[in-house]
Amino acid sequence: MNLLCVGSIANDTIITPFHRKNNVLGGSATYCSLAGSLFCKTIIVGVVGSDFTRFDVFRRRNIDTSGIQIRKGKTFTWTGHYGFDLNTRQTLSLKLNVFKHFQPQLLPRHQQAKCVFLANIQPRLQLEVLKQIKHPKLIGLDTATEWINWARKDLLKVLKQADIFVINESEVREFSKEYNLLKAARKILSLMQPHHTVKRMDKRTNSFPALIIKQGEHGLLAFNRSHSYRDGLPIFNLPGYPLENVVDPTGAGDAFAGGLMGFLAETGDFSLPNLKRACTYATMIASFCVEDFGPKFLENLTLAKIRKRLRLFKKLTDFKI
């Protein structure tokens, strides 16, 4: 299956304790589509200004850019500053520019997409995209603190239709108002009721709706309704890949989500073992992503490199009881 990614496309300035980089290609849809394109034909949907010149990055990865609207004005810009631990970050400046009036309008052939990832943008825009998708099979969703606080109502509407919700640890706590992640997960999963999933629900082969909590360097915790309601436990607990040189964490979460969705779209296998496998590939992609500035590493990443790291990771995490 193809994967359609909708989200932001940005011009970032990234400041870490060690470096400063201007004019870094950024945005949630950028990282997500670059990662997804490792596995399947990927469509990117978003908006850029007439100053945008980086189409080549997508085209080299065979990403369909015909869903990118070009508007008069400047591309969305973001400037972020990371603390010494490279985990905490502060937004120094954010200019919506052409993104301010973005109205996603899918081309007829894009409306036929089966797998859709709604990367981090306003929930209102995510809803508009969903309305245009004719026959969804798998809908993934990400969000951010600002939407949890300022657009909760719309976010709940999107969430209701999502098969996979990919969200980070602090956002889960904020959204659910529960500190404990198991309690938080149960609350959030009860809000997910995707109609298309319910219709084709076969518990043996379908592991959705699922919630994947990203824990940064500490990996992830995954939950789904049927399994976690049965024994009160998550379905998957995976540590992160330990790295010696973290350069820039920007986009790692989006790359994770794109890799996850791309793997699921390509395999078309929504079983629990395959969802776990998708999580491990996505974790490797995120680990590569942070080893260079912006999406630089993703641009030249190959499946062979991912599989090599995954074999090391398997050795590192494996144990016999």
Footprint of its own copies (CB under 8 A): 84-85, 179-183, 215, 218-219, 221, 231-239, 242-246, 273, 276-277, 279-280, 307, 310-312, 314, 316-317, 319-321
Task: Select 108 or 318, whichever has its Cβ closest to its own copies.
Answer: 318
Q: How far is the CB of 47 from its own copies (least distance, A)?
A: 38
Beta-bridge mates of residue 81: 15, 90
- Name the strand (E) or helix (H) holding 312: helix 303-317
Q: How far is the CB of 215 from its own copies (least distance, A)?
A: 7
Task: Select 2 or 280, whichever has its Cβ closest to its own copies.
Answer: 280
User: In angstroms, what is the C-alpha Rg of the chain?
Assistant: 18
Q: How far is the CB of 23 from its own copies (least distance, A)?
A: 28
Q: How far is the CB of 280 from its own copies (least distance, A)?
A: 5
Residue 291 to residue 275: CA distance in whole angstroms = 25
Contact 166, 140 (CB under 8 A): yes
In the chain the first and final C-alpha atoms are separated, in Å, by: 38
Task: Select 223 or 293, whichever has its Cβ closest to its own copies.
Answer: 223
Q: Residue 226's CB: how many other CB atoms inside 10 A?
A: 16
Residue 127 to residue 161: CA distance in whole angstroms = 9
Task: Select 200 or 314, whichever has its Cβ closest to its own copies.
Answer: 314
Task: Select 158 or 264, whichever has its Cβ closest to its own copies.
Answer: 264
Task: Select 209 or 219, whichever has its Cβ closest to its own copies.
Answer: 219
Q: How far is the CB of 303 from its own copies (least distance, A)?
A: 12
Q: How far is the CB of 1 from its own copies (least distance, A)?
A: 22
Q: Residue 266 has which token pair?
A: 């390509």
Q: Residue 248 has which token pair?
A: 């820039």
Q: Residue 204's CB: how many other CB atoms inside 10 A?
A: 7
Task: Give, in order, the Cα–Cα distances in Å from 52 to each of 68, 149, 315.
Answer: 11, 31, 43
